[in-house]
Chain A
């Protein structure tokens, strides 16, 4: 019924416009000569559209200013990583450049469209080429872009090329799967154990190779805690499809690719608490809570439960299409002072202990029900043979 109504409205709209053009045509009959009625633009059309062109550049400017005022504050604010300010600086330079070029070229384009709108009797200026002009506007982009490329490459090298021997870094594995994240800390030895999805079993959800001595002290977690002021090197894996580990507040992103280990490193510079005090964030959170309380009032009126108030937290989002629930694949990120972080980490159970505990429980239950034992045995047996050939492939 609704769609019928919509179609009816659209048809009526079409008829209205058609009739309007007829009226236009009729009003013109007496005033203009026959040649003017040929669907080719005449002086009147050139005038009207010329002025509209001029108005349009006004529209572009006003809309740009409106957007900046109204939505400028939505843009990500204070960066929370060491390379963040450099990133933001390069972004600012690029944006300023873009705005300047945009303002000038759009003005010229639309102003010329207005100024030189056709008039019967006017003759256009035959101007086919001019080497000097063309040279100028080839060389200017060359110089400007050369500068941008150099700055960009300098920043890129700083961010992406990590010298693992020199850095005293924290190694964290970020593990992606439809539709959640897991993390694994390297533990006391500072080395992540080898892993492959073929080792996935029970509590060992990331497929860590428990025969690797580096694996025992690895610490799995469901929340990503990071120490402030220490370089963190993420080793990123995926167990099923492509995902992308996106940390917008840290200006960091890297895809998670099944079958290979990718990496990204950054140094957090602001703890979660400090970021919550950031004026931009305070304002943003207040605004969001305002929106949420309004929505909650509506929900309560409809007999539904209200929304929780929002408190700022860093986030890890999935930013590569990965399936139906891609839109809700997230993990909380907490940045602490290093001491607090170390305390938190020491409270987590190591993987070695967890696996041992699980095996113990399994053994207990196996004693009670004998037949299960066989199946588990044979499964592990086949698994381990496969594993033999694979473990070399995924060296971290």
Chain B
């Protein structure tokens, strides 16, 4: 489409790029940068910092669950006398930690940290563009994300506590400060932070979509795009479709909270008073929330799947199996993901007939997911697997994706959901299938593209230690949760000691917490490796993994415009690994077809 026009633009830009390059000050280079590679790093570092906060919170509340109402020095140190009198965590602060853990991990780490980092880094580099369609909007997007992160962190220090109504912030609990302390100023900050986050996410997504559609280099047709780009592209589309709905829900909730409207509230008697609200419905909020909330799962997961597709093919030295089926699956998942939100609401009081419809659409989503999993496994078959840390995390992702995805068959079935809804079974399911899987995707991406970002290599031995301990601990934490969930243990309970019925689950909870603590400690290995390697890692060659995609043809230096010369032209799809008739076991996309060479894939 715009191929010819872009070629010219590229040539001119090249001269401009060098002129800019010398004028860079510290501020334009590292802070208010409009270069997509720097913005990607900013997203990554912010995401990692938010991740540290989110995981620390999970350790705190896991300790409370394993040793309920015991006094810990670390509670005193981190939560303070106000939130943990005498080192014993308060019950509403437990809920606050659960809420903010969920919010931070889902939105700030796995949406912005994962998709923000790798969409920004890879979209221009892999499609052969000088930068994003709008560098300025890209910068705005990052800085709005940064502001929303800061506001979310500030909300932790509000006197009555941060938002504590669960990450789903169902009203009326989230609307009434009388119902829980965190629904006062803490909730206001949460909503403001999320509104800014959504604006940031939309700007990013629009940029990604426009860039992928318009700025592909000559020869880069849609069916020659690496699967990473397909995943980022479709993710951005889902984001554009669904995030505005969350924004509207948040706005209406702000109206209910601050201006006395009754969108979500009706007939409430609390703290001895009848409130004036009349005619609203909390179920409406659930619909609006999950209309984003479910696609959000795929906004988190699809980039991770895209990243692993690329990494598995590269390290297996084999083409990804079923390239077109993979694209079709991404499209099918994206479409279905917007019409399954009701499976979060089977027992919400909505019409049971709707439950039937949502069961049907939900179980349909298992089909493209199964296709993806089988295609990954077939890609490994008869490969020459280079087991780099990124590859291990990618294989780990497929493993947790299968384990977590399979239990979706139970939860997506309205009948079976009745008794496991909101129990630890759900916690196990979504942590494995989207939390751990997406985290693995993020780790895989970091290990794989670290040389592309920083020009240095991460230490592989530390990478192996990091992977194996994490892999064991992830299963150690979430596998037992299926059992306590099927024993009927509800989630979001501060302690289970109020029910003698659950006394026999305590051992399991202690074991889960031990795995969680060990797993969290070993993330320090990663952090050390990451920050140490930025400055002291081994110098990386230009294409350390012998990969086919275009990002490895550009030098790693601070340069606006990505390629010093002309933009490379693309002659083949990105998965010509071990193609018969070639000397090397990889043929980069910018290598022209040999005379008489045939395209072997369909």
Contact = CB atoms under 8 A, between A and B. Distances in A.
Given A40-B457, A125-B578, A130-B321, 12 more contacts: A6-B74, A17-B525, A45-B464, A95-B410, A97-B409, A98-B409, A128-B321, A138-B370, A252-B418, A254-B347, A317-B488, A320-B170
Interface string A13-36: 110011011001100000000000
A350 interface: no
Given A116-B382, A129-B601, A240-B269, A258 B282 contact: yes
A106 B402 contact: yes
Given A134-B322, A253-B347, A117 B387 contact: yes
Interface of A: 1-3, 6, 10, 13-14, 17-18, 20-21, 24-25, 38-41, 45-46, 48-50, 52-53, 56, 59-60, 63-64, 67, 71-72, 74-76, 87, 90-91, 94-95, 97-98, 101-102, 105-106, 108-110, 112-113, 116-119, 122-130, 133-134, 137-138, 141-142, 145, 148-149, 152-153, 155-157, 159-161, 177-178, 196-198, 200, 207, 236, 239-242, 244, 246, 248-249, 251-255, 257-260, 262, 284, 287-288, 291-292, 307-308, 310, 312, 315, 317-328, 330, 390, 393-394
A74 B387 contact: no
Interface residues of B, number: 145
B421 interface: yes
Contacts of A41: 386-388, 391, 460
B190 to A, nearest CB: 15
Interface in B265-305: 265-270, 274, 278-283
A307 to B, nearest CB: 8
Nearest to B345: A255
A123 B349 contact: no
Given A98-B410, A149-B359, A242-B282, A40 B544 contact: yes
A145 B471 CA distance: 30
A105 B480 contact: no
21 contacts: A13-B521, A18-B462, A21-B462, A41-B460, A49-B392, A56-B471, A71-B484, A97-B409, A102-B406, A109-B398, A116-B381, A117-B385, A118-B386, A123-B384, A130-B321, A153-B414, A253-B419, A253-B421, A291-B503, A323-B95, A326-B95
A156 B418 CA distance: 9
A232 B307 CA distance: 52
Nearest to B527: A14
A59 B399 CA distance: 13
Q: Which of A64, A71, A76 has the most CB of B within 10 A?
A: A71
A257 B349 contact: yes
Contacts of B170: 241-242, 320-321
Given A105-B402, A118-B386, A156 B419 contact: no
B281 A326 contact: no
Interface string B545-562: 100000000000000000
B317 interface: yes
B416 interface: yes
Nearest to A247: B419
B593 interface: no
A127 B471 contact: no
A124 B585 contact: yes
B504 A291 contact: yes
Interface in B362-379: 363-364, 366-367, 370-371, 373-378
Interface stretch (B201-209, B333-341, B489-497): B489-497
B471 to A, nearest CB: 7
Dominant secondary structure at the A interface = helix
A244 B524 contact: no
Top 8 closest A-B pairs, CB basis? A259-B266, A248-B488, A2-B73, A128-B601, A262-B349, A160-B352, A39-B457, A197-B269
B525 A127 contact: no
A291 B506 contact: yes
Contact of B503 (A50, A67, A251, A288): A288
Interface string B448-483: 000000000111111011001001100110011011
B579 interface: yes
A49 B387 contact: yes
Contacts of A14: 524-525, 528
B407 A98 contact: yes
B326 to A, nearest CB: 10
Nearest to A60: B475
A124 B577 contact: yes
Contacts of A198: 267, 269, 274
B384 A118 contact: yes
B411 to A, nearest CB: 10
A322 B508 CA distance: 25
Contacts, number: 418
A326 B173 CA distance: 11
Contacts of A110: 395, 399
Contacts of A1: 73
B145 interface: no
A10 B523 CA distance: 11
B92 interface: yes
Nearest to B269: A197
B54 to A, nearest CB: 18
Nearest to A243: B173
Interface string B225-248: 000000000000000000000000
B138 to A, nearest CB: 31
Contact of B501 (A123, A156, A315, A320): A315
Contact of A63 (B320, B407, B475): B475
B223 interface: no
Contacts of B165: 321
B486 interface: yes
A113 B423 contact: no
A155 B415 contact: yes
A250 B370 CA distance: 33
Contacts of B601: 128-129
B260 to A, nearest CB: 16
A240 B578 contact: no
Contacts of A133: 378
B504 A127 contact: no
A17 B462 contact: yes
Contacts of A72: 483
Contact of B347 (A87, A244, A291): A244
Q: Which of B355, B375, B399, B508 has the most CB of A within 10 A?
A: B399
Interface string B405-433: 01101100111101101110000000000
A105 B382 contact: no
A71 B483 contact: yes
A161 B352 contact: yes
A314 to B, nearest CB: 10
Contacts of A149: 359-360, 363, 413
A317 B415 contact: no
A161 B366 CA distance: 27
A116 B380 contact: yes
B17 interface: no
Given A49-B392, A241-B176, A152 B503 contact: no
Nearest to B581: A126
B318 interface: yes
A251 B495 CA distance: 23
A319 B384 contact: no
A145 B336 CA distance: 15
Contacts of A56: 399, 471
A156 B460 contact: no
A106 B400 CA distance: 9
B342 interface: no
B321 A129 contact: yes
Contact of A39 (B173, B366, B367, B460): B460
A126 B580 contact: yes
A364 to B, nearest CB: 24
B398 A259 contact: no
A201 B373 CA distance: 59
B274 A197 contact: yes
Contacts of A50: 385, 387
